[in-house]
Structure 1
């Protein structure tokens, strides 16, 4: 009996698992064919889960969940994948007249462009809800209260406005007619020149935009103008004197031109000829300006200031392969039989100049190459090689022990001053014979 109950319970559990798996599988396939969207509305009055989602009045999906939030309502709905929805679509809650059920309309219908994907969000700025009857009634009540008379038996505010307008317009029909005719003519003229008007407006817009973008520049200009105005105000005499000097200079220039009209004309003619020559030599000038920087750079590279001369090596063009240079020139100069002439040139010149291929002259010494480093750029391997080297003085002589009865050597003065005449050491002879022959050897 226990075994039968166990088998029955196991069968029931298995059936429940199958049912749950089938439902889960069905829901999974169902969600796979749907696009789920979340939208935020100001309210969801009359809307419930399961209500329709429509496009152009056709049902394309349904409301999944409705979740109330402090300032808005979050509504999740789905749309069948066979219906395309624009990525920037708007959602509007519809309120049919005859039935109380409401639906969400997606606008506009898809034509082209990106599609709305699953888990997309439509913010409240792209949603709308219908006006409720209670809100409409409240607004109508406010309107009636505003239009009704303040006190019983008196005219309301709207009535007073109508009466005042009637009193002001009574007898002014002709003037109103003429005004309307003139306005019509003015608008017609404006319509005939609409292109010019729009062009002027666009230009004004560009000017205003440029001024807006140049705020700092305009502020600086105003400061400079203010400073200039203050300077002119503080120094009126200087400005007056400057203008007077300019007037005097202008008079002198006028007199000079009047007196030297012919030389000025001749000078102008010569300048015209010079300008014409420059114009005719424009190609040479361009070539000079093109080559001058490279030539100056090469000159700087071969002129070291350390030696005050040029440092470089002679280079002979086309002498790296003299056979090709000479025979190529002969072939180019020959007209008939140029190929045979080139072959004969190679045949006779090859044994002579085959070992004469060089780029630089075969000189052991290049006379234009010298020191290429400044004194402060030379590193000496030994200190005694430096030009400013001062050799150390000779070591002091070793006098040894002083014999008995001999006076001790006189110590040097503390201040390092020169020795007295009696204390100065005896200087030996500088004669070559005295240096090489001992004293007394010749006697």
Structure 2
């Protein structure tokens, strides 16, 4: 009795746990799979207990097949740890003609929305395999249509073969040459595939450039349309201008034909003159460079009153006394120009600018007399002409003469 007490104390709890486990698995079994359904147009060859796979891996079993009018509802369980995407597709797959079929779910879940437990995949996202008897039925129908019958012992296929044989008869060498040329062309295309791909790539770049330049193309099109409108609005004037140009060209052609020898002579002389001018190009450039200054000086020393050219006394050193004085000091001291300029600026710099003048402050020029008489003066502006009672330029010249009071 003493020995049975420990056994009873341990055995009773273990027995109670076993009873609870059996009751829990029989009355309220533990679910290790989630149930889904899919609609198919046919479930031929599919049975309860067949596999449900994802990418060929078994993940569940078909639990029930229910006919629903023109559709079949297939219920299946999938392991709870497996997830099915919300847009999943289902297909009945037949690996071979004699093997069992299974339901394939695709694509695998890699993230995103999931198909709720208990949801049904609609028939729009399911597919069934083509049955072998359907294939044989179509083949039988095709052979019956193409084969011979009571009215046509040759059949449509036989007629096609006869026509093809008749057309190809005697053209074997031509067909061979055509095949050889086709092979050569394909080989050429294959050898130049890199250039072809490069051309396509450049064409893509060109198309992208056109796409990016859409605004410029539209602007060019608008401007071209404006030019076209202007030409259309002035088509009468343009027609008249072209007609006049045609008449002018006829006259030019007649002139050239009648004066061909003279034109040739003129062209030859012009060529000779051009060669001479080209040979004397440096001299002509020198003349053109010096002539404006010389003519300006000539105009300055010409006196209309005496109708002669006279000289004029011009003391230019007074316009730049700094240069005149500083150069004289440099010559006297016998130093270089840089040192002389520094000494001159240092000692005489503030004073020399005060001595600058265009002409000496003397009211007479002993080398020149009266430049022009009153009747030889031409005024550019009428208001510059002196009044009737004002002294004339000749009187002013007399006033400025040495003997004037």
**Smaller-chain TM-score bracket:** 0.3 to 0.5
After TM superposition, the score normalised by the length of structure 1 is 0.39
Compare CA radii of gyration and give the structure with the larger one: 2
After TM superposition, the score normalised by the length of structure 2 is 0.42
Q: Judging by fraction of residues, say which structure has more helix.
A: 2
